Amino acid sequence: MKAAYFEAHGPLDVIQVGDLPAPVLGPGDVRIQVKAAALNHLDLFVRDGWPGLKVPLPHVGGTDLAGVVVEVAPDVRSVRVGDEVLVNPGLNFEAGPDGHQRIPADVSIVGETRWGGLAEQCVVPATHVLPKPHDMSWETAAALPLASITAMQMVKRKARVKRGDRVLIVGAGGGVAIMALQIAKASGAWICATTGGADKVLKVKALGADVVIDYKASSDWSKEAFLASGKKGFDAIIDSTGTATFSKSVRLLGLGGKLVTCGATTGGLSEVDVKAIFWRQLSILGSTMGIPQDLKDAIKMWEAGQLRAVIDSTWSLDQVRDAMAKMERSEQFGKLVIKP
């Protein structure tokens, strides 16, 4: 099968496109003919590698994918050949009795710990495929899963956003932030968002943000955000950019506010005012992936017209390096979709 893969961790030029043996179908698995896959920053992190990451090489990335089932293991009864499906990539992130996520000791994620969707075929457990709605495009089906489940976890269970809350979405241009904005808006929150560039400002406003700040055109975006909050600060802030914004986000929280982060795309180190954390009784919460119900809820929201996957552009498998380069430069608004 044709695939985008790497044989050693490193920068963009380690990515190759060529033929690899198709992945083996194991017990409980289904084989999917990939119709579309979507890139995430996780794909870049896995490609670069990090201390402790053990990935058998060569490795095929691609956490998000959708396609047609072409083979099922003999023990699979819930999925049939010919089914059109999308994949929940968090293979062992489950909910506990209280409905909250239980983080496994050894995570299993499509495109990270096993081969992903940047190929003509992908093998995944039958337990983690969902039927694709008939009128949902392949591009949307690929772009929805990881961003939506991550945003659902951040907005609903971590920040616990409710009607009337003041919410700041930092860096509304990537997939998770765009999803979080829409989910928070559907929850009845008042939304302030930051993004980079006049064209993105218009797009973020179209998604329902009440105030949008162009950080590229602002001398101090955090001051503008504070004034927009009525000088009260925010009840919840969704910020996955890391070093570039984290300390300012902490300062922008109102009394009892919650800062939720799922990543650090600009770096992982930041100085914060500890006094502000205890004096204003702030919460800084980490979030990773979500639970199976999150993707089901996201599909329901899509069907109700409350949530959409914003597609920046579509690329062929041969163009995957160009697409990754665009993501590394943070030039996209929404998801970059690959069509094998």
SS3 192: strand
Sign of the alpha-carbon dihedral angle for 172, 178, 182, 184: negative
**Mean pLDDT (whole number) for 167-191:** 97
Cβ atoms of residues 85 and 47 within 8 Å: no
State the Cα–Cα distance between residues 231 and 45, nearest whole angstrom: 37
Q: At 337, give phi and psi (nearest 5°).
A: -105, 135
Q: Indicate whether 22 pLDDT > 90.
A: yes
The tokens for 73 are: 């293991």
- For residue 103, what pLDDT is reported? 85
- For residue 314, what pLDDT is reported? 98
154 lies in the same domain as 268 = yes
State the Cα–Cα distance between residues 36 and 313, nearest whole angstrom: 12
Q: Is residue 98 part of a domain?
A: yes
Q: Give the mean pLDDT of the chain.
A: 96
- For residue 108, what pLDDT is reported? 94
State the Cα–Cα distance between residues 44 and 248, nearest whole angstrom: 26
For tokens 């945003």, what's the residue? 151
State the Cα–Cα distance between residues 303 and 300, nearest whole angstrom: 5
**Mean pLDDT (whole number) for 122-139:** 98
Q: Is residue 298 part of a domain?
A: no
User: What's the half-sphere exposure (Cβ side, CA atoms, 13 Å) at 295?
Assistant: 29
Q: What does DSSP assign to residue 17?
A: E
Q: Is residue 294 part of a domain?
A: no
Q: Indicate whether 182 pLDDT > 90.
A: yes
172 lies in the same domain as 254 = yes
User: What's the half-sphere exposure (Cβ side, CA atoms, 13 Å) at 297?
Assistant: 17
Count, residues in the chain: 340
**Mean pLDDT (whole number) for 34-50:** 96
Task: Return the CATH number at 15.
Answer: 3.90.180.10
200 lies in the same domain as 268 = yes
Q: What does DSSP assign to residue 215?
A: T
| Domain ranges, residue 245 | 149-286
At 222, the pLDDT band (50, 70, 90 cuts) reads very high
Q: Which among 292, 291, 290, 288 is positioned nearest to 127, based on CA atoms?
A: 292
What pTM does this model have?
A: 0.94
Q: At 315, give phi and psi (nearest 5°).
A: -130, 155
241 lies in the same domain as 281 = yes
Bridge partners (DSSP) of residue 189 are none
**Mean pLDDT (whole number) for 150-157:** 97
Cβ atoms of residues 239 and 246 within 8 Å: yes
217 lies in the same domain as 126 = no
**Mean pLDDT (whole number) for 297-309:** 97
Q: Indicate whether 301 pLDDT > 90.
A: yes
315: number of Cβ within 10 Å: 19
State the Cα–Cα distance between residues 82 and 79, nearest whole angstrom: 9
State the Cα–Cα distance between residues 197 and 331, nearest whole angstrom: 10
166 lies in the same domain as 197 = yes
- For residue 105, what pLDDT is reported? 85
Secondary structure of 146-184 as H, E, C letters: HHHHHHHHHHHHHCCCCCCCEEEECCCCCHHHHHHHHHH
17 lies in the same domain as 102 = yes
pLDDT in tens, 99-125: 889 988 889 999 999 999 999 999 999
**Mean pLDDT (whole number) for 172-188:** 96
Q: Is residue 197 part of a domain?
A: yes
Q: Is residue 300 part of a domain?
A: no
Cβ atoms of residues 330 and 194 within 8 Å: no
184 lies in the same domain as 277 = yes
The tokens for 212 are: 């949008």
Q: Indicate whether 210 pLDDT > 90.
A: yes
Q: Indicate whether 42 pLDDT > 90.
A: yes
239 lies in the same domain as 168 = yes
Q: Is residue 241 part of a domain?
A: yes
34 lies in the same domain as 138 = yes
Q: Is residue 296 part of a domain?
A: no
Task: Return the CATH number at 198.
Answer: 3.40.50.720
Q: Is residue 293 part of a domain?
A: no
**Mean pLDDT (whole number) for 180-187:** 98
At 66, the pLDDT band (50, 70, 90 cuts) reads very high
315 lies in the same domain as 220 = no
Q: What is the CA radius of gyration of the chain?
A: 20
- For residue 76, what pLDDT is reported? 97
Q: To the nearest whole percent, how much of the chain has pLDDT over 70?
A: 100
What's the structural domain count of the chain? 2
84 lies in the same domain as 201 = no
pLDDT in tens, 261-295: 998 888 889 999 999 999 999 999 999 999 999 99
Cβ atoms of residues 209 and 238 within 8 Å: no
Alpha-helical regions (H) of 39-144: 41-48, 138-143
Q: Indicate whether 34 pLDDT > 90.
A: yes
Q: List Cα–Cα distances, 87 to 23, 66, 113, 207, 332, in angstroms.
A: 16, 6, 15, 25, 23
Q: Indicate whether 328 pLDDT > 90.
A: yes
For tokens 């990515």, what's the residue? 15
SS3 288: coil
At 297, the pLDDT band (50, 70, 90 cuts) reads very high
**Mean pLDDT (whole number) for 11-26:** 97
